[in-house]
Amino acid sequence: MNPNLNRRSFLGNTTLAGASLAAGSVFAQNTAGGSKKIKVGLIGCGGRGNGALGDFMAACKILGLEPELTATGDAFKDKADGVGKKMGLADDKCFGGFDAYHKVIASGCEYVIMATPPSFRPLHFAAAVEAGKHCFIEKPVAVDPVGARSVIATGEKAAAKGLAVVTGTQRRHDKNYLRNKALIDAGAIGQIKGGVVQWNGVVPWIKRRNEGESDASYLARNWLNFNELSGDHIVEQHVHNLDVAVWFMGKLPVTAVGFGGRARRQTGNMFDFFSIDYDFGDDVHIHSQCRQIAGTYGRVGELFTGTEGVCYGGGKLKGKDVSIPEIKLDSDNSMVQEHVDMIRSVMTGKPLNDAKRIAEVTLVAIMGRISAYTGELVRWNDLISNDKSPFYNYACTPSALDFEKGDVKAPEEVPPIPGKA
């Protein structure tokens, strides 16, 4: 794939992708005369799974639908039980274990919400699409190039089956970001010549190993701090800002070169910080900066400098006066709006499919991580098409299948060290 692909072919209709369809749409006709029941299953019952399920329920309320939770699944049965109890679900519909996703998919649901650790998402997505389910997948969708390419392939199968695939990149469903993207496309800041994207914060949480705990249990509980399960925070968290960069630029980077390190992290094997230079071609560079260290300056956001002005992500924009269509959304909560957009797309017979886009953005983040870990310049083609590259077939272990088969050995809790002394 050419990273300098045509702006229009890459973005498709995403400029106003979050905008609601007009009143009197096919969706409104489909639901006329009473409430329609909609069935959903949840895979991954931690904080994000709970949140995504709540957002799905709120979206159903906006659309006049009656949601029904058919099953919950998590590696830890108590987590599946906790969500089930809160939702009034029978105990025999709450499944535990690394194979629980099979049971959720077979529970009679139409939609599946996937909020497991990122390393599990390619496997779970493939199983859900094989079973004909519409999918909401939390970001990122993989931790390595092999997994990301798998998501692209599964997304193509979903499209052939007419299935919706929407991912948790809520900025794409946020009115302020949609407005600024539309203004940029209309020429408000001219041609983008560079920018900075940042997620500087703290480690969200850590888990200590319990005495006698298995490797599989410890890794699954402390997944956020192991790159094999989370992709490191440049992938798991900073992917949001990188997604905005790719979206606003309208193309993918050609190369990435960067560095990072670790000084403070207390568990796992990840870096504390990354600094990556993404070259988008035509002498345009975006600086990616992310850090998880308490007691340091924090900022989350994006800045793009153009030939005619400047844009601060979904914030202020200074440039030329241009006109754009009005953007109307159903919800001020972009995490609810993304579910509204998914469900409505199914009901109108025009299912959204984010699979390729989010897999590519996940690869952009992975590209930066690999460069920082190895100290090497990494080309986009090394991950997507050049099977002679040492990075092309890079796959993290233990894999999702290893967990399911019970063949899990925890990696050492030391970070990568690039270069030579």
Q: How confident is the model at residue 43 (pLDDT cuts 50, 70, 90)?
A: very high
Strands 192-201 and 285-292: parallel
Strands 111-114 and 255-261: unpaired
* 95: helix, strand or coil: strand
Give, in degrees to the nearest 5, the angle at Cα 199 between 195 and 200.
115
Is the pLDDT reported for residue 209 higher than 90?
yes
Lowest average pLDDT, out of 16-20, 216-220, 348-352, 396-400, goes to 16-20
Residue 421 pLDDT? 87
Cα dist. 70→57, 91, 147, 222, 282 in Å? 13, 11, 28, 28, 51
87 φ, ψ to 5°?
A: -100, 5
Residue 8 pLDDT? 30
Q: How confident is the model at residue 16 (pLDDT cuts 50, 70, 90)?
A: very low
Q: How confident is the model at residue 35 (pLDDT cuts 50, 70, 90)?
A: low
Is the pLDDT reported for residue 25 higher than 60?
no
Residue 234 pLDDT? 98
- Please provide the DSSP assignment of 228-290 as one string: HHH--HHHHTTHHHHHHHHHHHTS--SEEEEEEE-SS--SSS--SEEEEEEE-STT-EEEEEE
Question: What are the percentages of helix, strand and coil residues in the chain, rounded to 5?
Answer: 40, 20, 40
Mean pLDDT of the chain: 92
Looking from the CA of 155 toward its CB, the CA atoms found within 13 Å total: 22
Q: Rounded mean pLDDT of 79-89?
A: 97
Is the pLDDT reported for residue 203 higher than 90?
yes
Neighbours of 319 (CB within 10 A): 18
What one-character DSSP code corresponds to residue 389?
S
Distance between CA atoms of residues 57 and 48, nearest Å: 14
Q: Is the peptide bond before 145 cis (omega within 30 degrees of 0)?
A: no
More confident residue, 155 or 2: 155
Q: How far is CA 327 from the centre of its chain?
A: 24
More confident residue, 22 or 354: 354
Q: How confident is the model at residue 3 (pLDDT cuts 50, 70, 90)?
A: very low
* 74: helix, strand or coil: strand
Percent above pLDDT 70 for the chain: 92
- Please provide the DSSP assignment of 338-380 as one string: HHHHHHHHHHTT---B-HHHHHHHHHHHHHHHHHHHH---EEH
Percent above pLDDT 90 for the chain: 91
- Please provide the DSSP assignment of 107-144 as one string: SS-SEEEE-S-GGGHHHHHHHHHHTT-EEEE-S---SS
Token digits of residue 187: 């020429």
Token digits of residue 264: 């403070």
Is the pLDDT reported for residue 402 higher than 90?
yes
Is this model's pTM higher than 0.85 or not?
A: yes
Is the pLDDT reported for residue 262 higher than 50?
yes
Side chain identity, residue 322: V
Q: Rounded mean pLDDT of 67-73?
A: 98
Q: Rounded mean pLDDT of 82-105?
A: 97
